[in-house]
Amino acid sequence: MIELIQVPFMRHILLAGVFVAAGLAPLSVYVVLRRIVFVGAAVAEVASAAVALAVLFQLAPFPIALALTVTSFLALSRLADSQRLPLESLIGMLYAGGAAASVLLITKAPRGEANILNILFGNILTVPATLLWAMAGVFGALLVFQYVAAKELLISAYDPDMGRTLGIPVRAWNMIFYGAMGVAVAIAIRAVGALLTFTMLVAPGASALCLTGRLNRAFLVALALGVVSAVGGVMLSYQFDLPTGSTIVGLLVVLFAISYGIGQLRSAA
């Protein structure tokens, strides 16, 4: 571990993994509670389409991806209360539309395939220092926001009807939550790619809810699991010469499997 920190290149990778875990792992509890586990994958396709669009018109990819990602999340927040269609249907259409747009745009974008693959499979090995500072600021602010607004966010996600009874503006808090998550996901995808972003947005929360029945502890457990997976994945990839992002994802999946088994044993006891 000390040897790893002493290498500037690996230190950047380690910080990127820890920052993404700190930013997304606590959010994953809300994602699981709201039953929107595939929203990350759907919005990742939108981000890919945005990059293809930017490459096609020779624009800066990240601002376009950020704008479309946040807009997609805000649109989902407005449609979440629809009585005619379940949210899963809307997420599915967003995923299909984003994937189709990516394919159609990339066929017309010169040299755009590398940009799309970079978004889809991650580029944690080349996170620049400026992006690390941005991740530290945004994800740090997001952690503070979740702590300060924990009551409103939790009630809006877990029991919106009770929230309305208590006078909490659930729709407004939904928009705030989705908007904050849109910014977090856009930055995470830019830094580490869609696969790791999606997994970090689901696995820690799902694992934590298997390990503890107390919601206030679930956020801390999810954060711990996310950070441990990030650090452990970077160390394993360095030790055994493995792809870093995929190693972190694999470790998250293994920890979820263990957590799920522990949860099942507790239920049977």
For the chain, give the DSSP string: -HHHHHSHHHHHHHHHHHHHHHHHHHHHHHHHHHT-TTHHHHHHHHHHHHHHHHHHTT--HHHHHHHHHHHHHHHHHHHTT-SSS-HHHHHHHHHHHHHHHHHHHHTTSTT-HHHHHHHHH--GGG--HHHHHHHHHHHHHHHHHHHHTHHHHHHHHH-HHHHHHTT--HHHHHHHHHHHHHHHHHHHHHHH-HHHHHHHTTHHHHHHHHH-S-HHHHHHHHHHHHHHHHHHHHHHHHHHT--HHHHHHHHHHHHHHHHHHHHHHHHH-
Name the one residue in this structure whose structure tokens are 């160390």: 235
Residues 6+ apart with CB under 8 A from 229: 21, 200, 203, 204, 248, 251, 252, 255
Instruction: Specify the pLDDT at position 55.
Output: 74
Query: What CATH number has the domain spanning 2-263?
Result: 1.10.3470.10
Residues 6+ apart with CB under 8 A from 16: 124, 127, 131, 132, 135, 191, 192
pTM: 0.86
Instruction: Specify the pLDDT at position 77.
Output: 77
Spell out, as residue ranges, where the chain has pLDDT lower than 70.
1-8, 80-85, 109-123, 269
CA-CA distance, 200 to 196, in Å (whole number)? Answer: 6
Structure tokens at 212: 């503890």
* Extents of the domains making up the chain: 2-263
Instruction: Specify the pLDDT at position 93.
Output: 84
Instruction: Specify the pLDDT at position 27.
Output: 93
> What does the pLDDT look like over 52-82, one tens digit per residue?
787 777 777 778 888 888 888 888 777 766 5
> What does the pLDDT look like over 18-40, one tens digit per residue?
999 999 999 999 999 888 888 87
Structure tokens at 237: 């990839």
